[in-house]
């Protein structure tokens, strides 16, 4: 399974160096090249988040001084939309649900690491869809704001009539010209 043409940049929040290596091996066994950086404290994670962009973050749910939910909170606090996957050797269904409700994108048990690379791939695709949707929404908002600024500031009246011959839009200048409100004009046929 190939996700991108470059090694994935994966931040691993894990107190055990051996477990971090096992996570990397599990990802690489699926044919995905990756470069992992292990952190185990909030400070190290904060520095890592600021140092570069990450394709995914994998966090152990339970660690002595820091845990998966605290790591997730750091990601949310920074406003990052990065696939965040909780990995644990012993996570109950209730704990997994709590992690998902807190904003984790998925969870994988340490004894089922074959699920890790497909989960990363799926979540990276989902994150790309969310980024594209946000970009489209921003573009639409900017276009609407520009249109509204132009239409409300020009002195010329503008009226749009739909295929049924009813007015579907009028600008403030048009309302002033005819002496009616927008509510009185919308959905009505133009007067003659």
* pLDDT string in tens for the chain (192-residue length): 445 578 899 999 999 999 999 999 999 998 889 999 999 999 999 999 999 999 999 999 888 888 888 999 999 999 898 999 998 877 777 777 778 888 888 888 888 888 899 999 999 999 899 889 999 999 999 998 988 888 778 888 888 999 999 999 998 889 999 999 999 999 988 876
Strand pairing partners for 9?
35
- For the chain, the domains span 8-134, 154-192
Burial class (CB in 10 A: 0-12, 13-18, 19+), 78: exposed
Q: Which of 19, 1, 18, 45 lies closest to 113 in space, CA to CA? A: 19
Q: Residue 4 has what pLDDT?
A: 56
3-state SS, residue 132: helix
* Tokens of residue 59, six digits: 């966090």
- Residue 179 to residue 163: CA distance in whole angstroms: 24
* Assigned architecture for domain 8-134: 3-Layer(aba) Sandwich (3.40)
User: Could you tell me if 173 and 157 are in contact, meaning their C-beta atoms sit under 8 angstroms apart?
Assistant: yes
- Residue 148 to residue 134: CA distance in whole angstroms: 21
- Residue 32 to residue 91: CA distance in whole angstroms: 26
Q: What is the pTM of this model?
A: 0.71
Q: Residue 106 has what pLDDT?
A: 86
Per-residue exposure over 109-122, b if at least 16 CB sit within 10 Å of its own CB, e if not: ebeebebbbebbbe
Q: Residue 1 has what pLDDT?
A: 44
User: Could you tell me if 41 and 71 are in contact, meaning their C-beta atoms sit under 8 angstroms apart?
Assistant: no
Q: Give the number of other CB atoms < 10 A from CB of residue 70.
A: 15
User: Could you tell me if 154 and 174 are in contact, meaning their C-beta atoms sit under 8 angstroms apart?
Assistant: no
Residue 45's φ and ψ, nearest 5 degrees, are -65, -45
- Residue 98 to residue 5: CA distance in whole angstroms: 34
In which element (H, E) is residue 183 found?
A: helix 182-185
Secondary structure (DSSP) of 73-126: HHHHHTT----EEEEESS--HHHHHHHHHHT--EEEEGGGGGGHHHHHHHHHHH
């Amino acid at each position: 399974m190939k996700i991108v043409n470059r090694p994935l940049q994966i931040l691993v929040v894990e107190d055990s160096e051996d477990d971090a290596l096992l996570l990397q091996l599990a990802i690489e066994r699926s044919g995905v090249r990756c470069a992992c950086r292990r952190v185990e404290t909030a400070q190290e994670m904060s520095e890592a988040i600021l140092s570069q962009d990450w394709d995914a973050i994998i966090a152990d749910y339970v660690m002595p001084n820091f845990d998966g939910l605290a790591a997730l909170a750091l990601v949310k606090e920074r406003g990052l939309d990065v696939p965040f996957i909780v990995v644990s050797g012993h996570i109950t269904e209730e704990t997994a649900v709590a992690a998902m409700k807190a904003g984790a994108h998925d969870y994988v048990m340490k004894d089922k690491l074959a699920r890790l690379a497909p989960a990363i791939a799926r979540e990276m695709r989902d994150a790309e869809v969310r980024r594209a949707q946000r970009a489209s929404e921003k573009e639409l908002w900017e276009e609407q704001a520009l249109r509204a600024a132009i239409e409300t500031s020009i002195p010329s009246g503008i009226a749009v009539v739909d295929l049924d011959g009813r007015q579907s839009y009028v600008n403030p200048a048009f309302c002033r010209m005819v002496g009616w409100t927008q509510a009185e004009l919308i959905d009505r046929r133009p007067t003659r």
